[in-house]
Structure 1
Amino acid sequence: MKAIVFETYGSTEVLRMRDVEKPLPKDNEVLVRVHAASVNAADWRMLRADPFLVRFYAGLLKPTKFQTLGADIAGRVEAVGKNVHQFQPGDEVFGDVFASGFGGFAEYKCARESELVLKPANISFEEAAAVPLAALTALHGLRDKGRIQAGQKVLINGASGGVGTFAVQLAKYFGAEVTAVCSTGKIDLALSLGADHVIDYTQEDFTRSRRQYDLILAVNGNRSIFDYRGALTPSGAYVMAGGSTGQLFQALLLGPWISLIGKQKMGALTSTPNQKDLLFMKALLESGKIKPIIDRHYPLSEVSKAIRYVEEGHAKGKVAIILECSE
Structure 2
Amino acid sequence: MRAVIQTKYGLPDVLQLMDIEKPVPGNIEVLVKIHASSLNQGNLVLLKGKPFAARFAFGLSKPKYAVPGGDFAGRIEAIGKDVTQFKTGDEVFGDLSSSGWGAFSEYAAVPEHALALKPANLSYEEAAALPMAGVTALQALRDKGNIKLGQKVLIYGASGGVGTFFIQLAKHYGAEVTAVCSQKHKHSIEQHGADYIIDYQGADFSLAPRHYDVIIGVNGFQPLSIYKQALKSGGVFVHVGGSGAQLSRVLLFGPLISKMSSKRFSSFLHRPKQEDLVLLKEIAEEGGIKPVIVRNFMLEDIQEAFHYFNKGHIGGKVIIQISALDENDLHERTP
Question: What TM-score do you get using the length of structure 1 for normalisation?
Answer: 0.96
Q: CA deviation at 1:230?
A: 2.0
Counterpart in 1 of 2:229?
230
Q: Structure 2: where are the runs of 5+ without partners?
A: 327-335
Give the whole-Å Cα distance in 2 for the aligned partners of 1:251 and 1:289: 31
Counterpart in 2 of 1:121?
120
Q: How does 1:146-185 map to 2 (within 5 A)?
A: 146-185=145-184
Is the Cα contact below 8 Å between 1:107 and 1:325 reproduced in 2? no
Is the Cα contact below 8 Å between 1:27 and 1:84 reproduced in 2? yes
What letter corresponds to residue 248 of structure 1 in structure 2? L
What letter corresponds to residue 125 of structure 2 in structure 1? E
Give the whole-Å Cα distance in 2 for the aligned partners of 1:253 and 1:17: 42
- Single out whichever of 306-315 and 83-92 deviates more from structure 2: 306-315
Is the Cα contact below 8 Å between 2:34 and 2:323 reproduced in 1? no
**Could you say what secondary structure the match of 1:67 adopts?**
coil
Give the whole-Å Cα distance in 2 for the aligned partners of 1:314 and 1:231: 24
Counterpart in 2 of 1:7?
7
Give the whole-Å Cα distance in 2 for the aligned partners of 1:13 and 1:205: 40
What letter corresponds to residue 185 of structure 1 in structure 2? K
**Could you say what secondary structure the match of 1:100 adopts?**
coil
Give the whole-Å Cα distance in 2 for the aligned partners of 1:114 and 1:83: 12
Is the Cα contact below 8 Å between 2:36 and 2:323 reproduced in 1? no
Give the whole-Å Cα distance in 2 for the aligned partners of 1:244 and 1:106: 31
Give the whole-Å Cα distance in 2 for the aligned partners of 1:67 and 1:258: 42
Is the Cα contact below 8 Å between 1:136 and 1:278 reproduced in 2? yes
What letter corresponds to residue 22 of structure 2 in structure 1? K
**Could you say what secondary structure the match of 1:189 adopts?**
helix
- Single out whichever of 243-252 and 180-189 deviates more from structure 2: 243-252
Give the whole-Å Cα distance in 1 for the aligned partners of 2:206 and 2:105: 43
Q: CA deviation at 1:295?
A: 0.7
What letter corresponds to residue 214 of structure 2 in structure 1? L
The number of residue pairs the alignment matches comes to: 326
Q: How does 1:30-49 map to 2 (within 5 A)?
A: 30-49=30-49
Counterpart in 1 of 2:141?
142
Q: Give CA-to-partner distance per residue, 1:111-132, whole Å, 9 cap, x none.
A: 1101111112211000100101
Q: How does 1:16-55 map to 2 (within 5 A)?
A: 16-55=16-55
Q: Structure 1: where are the runs of 5+ without partners?
A: none
- Single out whichever of 72-81 and 225-234 deviates more from structure 2: 225-234
Q: CA deviation at 1:281?
A: 0.6
Q: Give CA-to-partner distance per residue, 1:190-247, whole Å, 9 cap, x none.
A: 1111100001112223234454211101111222223222221222100011112222
Question: What TM-score do you get using the length of structure 2 for normalisation?
Answer: 0.94
Q: CA deviation at 1:159?
A: 0.7
**Could you say what secondary structure the match of 2:162 adopts?**
helix
Counterpart in 1 of 2:62?
62
Residue 285 of structure 2 is aligned to residue 286 of structure 1: yes
Is the Cα contact below 8 Å between 1:34 and 1:326 reproduced in 2? no
Q: CA deviation at 1:265?
A: 0.8
Q: CA deviation at 1:46?
A: 1.4
**Could you say what secondary structure the match of 2:98 adopts?**
helix
Counterpart in 2 of 1:219?
218
Give the whole-Å Cα distance in 1 for the aligned partners of 2:241 and 2:100: 21
**Could you say what secondary structure the match of 1:160 adopts?**
coil
**Could you say what secondary structure the match of 1:53 adopts?**
helix
What letter corresponds to residue 187 of structure 1 in structure 2? K
* Residue identity (%): 48
Q: Give CA-to-partner distance per residue, 1:83-122, whole Å, 9 cap, x none.
A: 1011111111001111111111111111110111111221
Counterpart in 1 of 2:83?
84
Residue 106 of structure 2 is aligned to residue 107 of structure 1: yes
Q: CA deviation at 1:251?
A: 1.9
**Could you say what secondary structure the match of 2:60 adopts?**
coil
Q: CA deviation at 1:278?
A: 0.9
- Single out whichever of 218-227 and 277-286 deviates more from structure 2: 218-227
What letter corresponds to residue 8 of structure 2 in structure 1? T
Give the whole-Å Cα distance in 2 for the aligned partners of 1:156 and 1:322: 30
**Could you say what secondary structure the match of 1:229 adopts?**
helix
- Single out whichever of 168-177 and 316-325 deviates more from structure 2: 316-325
